[in-house]
Structure 1
Amino acid sequence: MALADITATQSPQALRCESVRKAFGARVALEGVSLTVRRGEFVALLGPNGAGKTTLFQVLTGLFVADAGRVTVLGSDRQDHDMRRDPVRALARLGIVFQQPAIDLDLPVLANLRFHADLHGLPRRVATQRIARLLDDFGLAARARAPVRELSGGNRRKVELARALLHEPALLLLDEPTVGLDPASRAQLVGIARRLAAQAQAGVLWATHLVQEVEHADRVIVLDRGTVRFDGTPAALRGVAGRDDVESAFLAMTRAPATSANNTERSVPA
């Protein structure tokens, strides 16, 4: 076993879902979903349309309450905080980047980050230091006073990711964060997210339909029709499905139509 694998195994769990169920009337969106994400671990979530990915993220972010099961997030006190019983403490340990941009386009980059720091009650001195470090890490120091509206799509996403990391969360939840970005920007954002999350020892749950973003994940979780079909490494996914690549392994496992965009832009149904 590689040293990185040993370290990840020994790290505390940033997120634990236990037998989570959510239904909307007669339609069951999640049925007994159990999964974990450890601090410093990059976990990709794959699932076809209607798999339940969006519902799962809404439960994890407190927008929906699960009908059954339990969601806990590791607190700064190293104690697990239950999303149902103690949502304030649980949510305080999350960093979130939604699929739809959620940032004030008319405010400068710096003002957006300061506003988020104030929401989390960070002392101004601490906030100033963290903002400066993150702007350097993302290559945005020179654009700190520019309105977000003037930035490229990739740089706007960097601001959202910097904002999500600002309060040093235990867990980063990213829902299709590279939608609409060009291939180079996507690859850069994935690399930055992995590096900074590892440095901060934050667990990452990254929902995506793009195979390129999955192949280098520590683990892949396949969600299909509201249940977890697979949880393991990309190599193990290929082996279980008896396929040579992650895309065909995923399609075989979920029995989805074998469609692929092209040779350079491989994707699976969102």
Structure 2
Amino acid sequence: MNALEVSDLSFAYGAREALRQIHFSVPAGRFAALLGPNGAGKSTLIALLTRLYDVQRGEIRVGGHSLRTSPRQALRQLGVVFQQSTLDLDLSVEQNLRYHLALHGVSRRQGCARVDAELARQQLTERRHERVRNLNGGHRRRVEIARALLHEPRLLLLDEPSVGLDPASRQALGQHIRQLCNEHGISVLWTTHLLDEVQPSDDLLIVHQGRLVASGRAEDVSEEHGGSLGSAFHRLTASGVAA
């Protein structure tokens, strides 16, 4: 079963069509990069996936559950790291995680085990009692990732997670997330407008003017549409011609 399935998804703000017949899936254990210029429709898609907006036309299924007919079950399968941090800076790392578990109704005994496991997986065990305010940007992102994974979702959604990070931290974050996919079978949808955040082996989705203009393995999309990712992206987003 795919972690995420999006079928014939369209959305409009009044008369302005923001998404037009979007169709794609994210298989289990895969890293999928959603790439597009500013204004391409990425933010609208994220708002629909997280149910900030209701689906107008089409279908979104997370872990096999429809966001339209079974929203609670679908959202249980989804972990989200938004572009803007939502951590409480004056709480410790561990307190932020425990607060999230309380919101999900996880028992204290289960919560202790999950917090310990996620802190270890994110290499944050030694910083569990530090206030988030004292962490650098890269470590704050790791806390958000740990929080997003505490309820054991099938899909991790990261919306432009490298914003505000220096180049070394951006690279380290990307490597860390791909390691989670490879070693733990977590599926990831990572949105970005930066070409250097996409690796040849990633699944790639390119959106432009509300349409999905290319999809497939990044190296295959590059070869089919220009020989390099940069030239392929320029060609697809300049013309808007769907693949």
TM-score by length of 1: 0.85
2:108 maps to 124
1:248 maps to 231
> 1:103-114 residue pairs with structure 2 within 5 A?
103-114=87-98
The residue matched to 2:3 in structure 1 has which SS? strand
2:42 equivalent to 1:53: yes
Q: Is the 8 A contact 2:28 2:186 kept in 1?
A: yes
Distance 1:87 1:219 in 2: 26
Cα distance change of structure 1 residues 111 and 217 upon mapping to structure 2, 3 Å threshold: farther
Shift of 1:217: 4.7
2:20 maps to 31
Match of 2:157 among 168, 173, 180: 173
Show structure 1 runs of 5+ residues with no match. Answer: 1-11, 75-79, 257-270
1:89 maps to 73
2:59 maps to 70
Amino acid at match of 1:246: L
2:117 maps to 133
2:202 equivalent to 1:213: no
Q: Is the 8 A contact 1:130 1:166 kept in 2?
A: yes
The residue matched to 1:23 in structure 2 has which SS? strand
Q: Is the 8 A contact 1:173 1:206 kept in 2?
A: yes
Give percent identity, aligned residues only.
Answer: 45
1:20 maps to 9
Distance 1:22 1:246 in 2: 28
Amino acid at match of 1:188: A
2:177 maps to 193
Distance 2:182 2:95 in 1: 26
What are the Cα deviations for residues 195-237 of structure 1, in whole angstroms up to 9, with x where unaligned?
A: 1233332211100122222124521000111111001111111
Distance 1:115 1:198 in 2: 29
Amino acid at match of 2:41: G
Q: Is the 8 A contact 2:6 2:61 kept in 1?
A: yes
TM-score by length of 2: 0.94
Aligned residues: 239
Shift of 1:193: 1.2
Amino acid at match of 1:229: V
RMSD of aligned C-alpha atoms? 1.3
